[in-house]
Structure 1
Amino acid sequence: MLTCQRDLFDLPRDMAYLNAAFMGPLPASVVAAGHAGVAVKARPWEVSVDAFFDPVEKARSLYAGLTGADAEGISVVPAVSYGMAVAAANLPLERGQRILVLAEQFPSNLYPWRKKAARDGGDLFTVARRADGDWTKAVLEQLDDRVGIVALPQAHWSDGGLLDLERIGAVCRSMGAALVIDGTQSFGALPFDTAKVDPDFAVAATYKWMLGPYSMGFLYVAPRHRKGQPLEDGWICREGSRDMSRLVDYTDAMDAGARRFDVGERSNFALMPMVISAMEQMSAWTPMAISDYVEKLTDRIVAETSVLGCMAPGKGIRSPHLLGLSLPEGVAVGPLAARLAEARVVLSVRGSRLRVSPHVYNDDQDVDRLIEVLSDALKGC
């Protein structure tokens, strides 16, 4: 059983930081890795050729382990938008076919598909939120032979609704539709089995639940797409690139697996050590243990805020780590969030909801603080 890990972070005790869905704080070990990485660039004569390759391969392997993937299928990307652009460039779409997205889906998993639909003569179809908040049912109800691509998260970024991607993935495969996943709001904090879901592409940034740096992420590419077209024509993704003395022996042959899709300058000497440190810590905790730990906190939040008139998706269709709390009728979310912030209870507003997202550094004292301030604020409404 995982216990509170607050002592590994620089978090003031008088603040309840319940906002991992916005940005995860860096553990002290990740900060130290970043400082050491920056220092490397100050002494470039000590940088070996292997430094361009070996840390990247280590990070690739660590991330694969976290997500149940094979390391050969992992590409290093700078952002979700980059990974989605790779997916959009490599997936076929026939004229008139649909691309399914969720209502109020995060923009990085919408804009590339809007552009692809317009370019290929497809139809971007938005799946509406059901009254009961069950996103899995909402998606399954829309899956038919008109669908060519399904672009989804594992957890909806605004309301915390959970999607059963194994069920959805099985239906997609049976009808020949591609499945693309944005796991930024769940990978690391929720178990995800790439082999069972079998997405065509799945991407996640490291700076939220994986407690890593900004501007780094990973893209899983299914074996059926690993001979596809990368967005860039970088040198380091070519076969034999480790031998820098022969880089002018130009070749069109690409490195193995999904490495062809790696972003240029992937070997970032400051960020890559931070990613490795974060992945090592996440691997030690495990996504299952993290999920179990934070679910105890979110279950308590749901129970105690329901007495105050707030509502969240039901058990089984809500994410254990991410809540979108709907407020009692007539309560304005903006002023309430401001009051919480004044009391040093930090969370987000997404649409008309309060988004509460605890991680391993939170505990019952943070929940006490949230309930106390929320209760006092709602009494005055």
Structure 2
Amino acid sequence: MKAFLILEDGNVFEGSSIGAEREVISEIVFNTSMTGYLEVLTDPSYAGQAVVMTYPLIGNYGITPDMESKRPWPDGYIVRELSRMPSNFRCEGSIQDFLKKYDIPGIAGIDTRALTKILREKGTMNGMITTDENYNIEEIIPRLQAYTTGNVVDKVTCDTVRVLEGKGKKVALLDLGAKNNIAQSLNKRGCQVTIYPAHTPAEEILAAKPDGIMLSNGPGDPKECTAIIEEIKKLYASDTPIFAICLGHQLMALANGADTHKMKYGHRGGNHPVKDLKTGRVYISSQNHGYVVDTDTLDEKIAKPAFVNVNDGTNEGLEYVGKNIFTVQFHPEACPGPQDSAYLFDRFIEMMGGIK
């Protein structure tokens, strides 16, 4: 069946329908990873977005047990060529069937290089995936221009508290859309990880007397999370060590008076170089974000930049003055992806007094 991707600037791409045969409007973003498409699909940070994979052939190894959450989250999936016969000893099915199972529309057979160039030159924009060959572009474009993702953290966070048992330090993980490997990275280092829903009051978290608090990644505009920011202010005021990733990094900055802004097309992929400003060392990182902390708005008495993106100079991490708090914009738990910065979990455990 034919499918169409209609962008808000009027560009139209024609391809073949994959997954659910329903219409969807979403923010269109691209990911430059060459592998790990299942981890991309199941990353909650993609809620409210349709993902374009820039690597041309997707699906060679099918669906494997490597899920980063309980289900896929993107609104849509866009590829150049989709493998029709996945082959891997761990394969449990095809991407096509996976998308249909979770009612996610997709489109294959379009020029993803041309699409990515448009998004890079004009910036991230909204689009529609539809199988309606009689679409009315004059009627669709105003709908695309009016679309906003809204608060998607509520959509992806867990419903109840759960615990990963461990004999080491007790870590409270605030689930803003957490990838599984954040909790697993702590748990395999011996930590007992208690995972809390995003709107858990700070008082409840602190009453459990955790040795440290982890703020996870997540989707959407950080400024939409006003109630969560108020709770993070209370966590900051405690003396508990805190480590934050991605959205958690942005929310901690907002809780302390800094500002964030939307990037032209964001960072999404497994090959972004970040520089540690203390040591000068450069690490290759996995990233997935469309917003960034504006360092010009930082109070230097509260926080100072710790990492910077080598490509565009944007902020990639903060260290808080006089506090056992550090935050990063990239993903040290990347799976699959570069493991260069996994040492940050060890640093967090040291901060809690857990490694001698």
TM-score (ref. length: structure 1): 0.28
Structure of larger gyration radius: 1
State TM-score, norm by structure 2.
0.30
Higher relative contact order (CA 8 A, sep 6+): 1
Higher helix share: 1
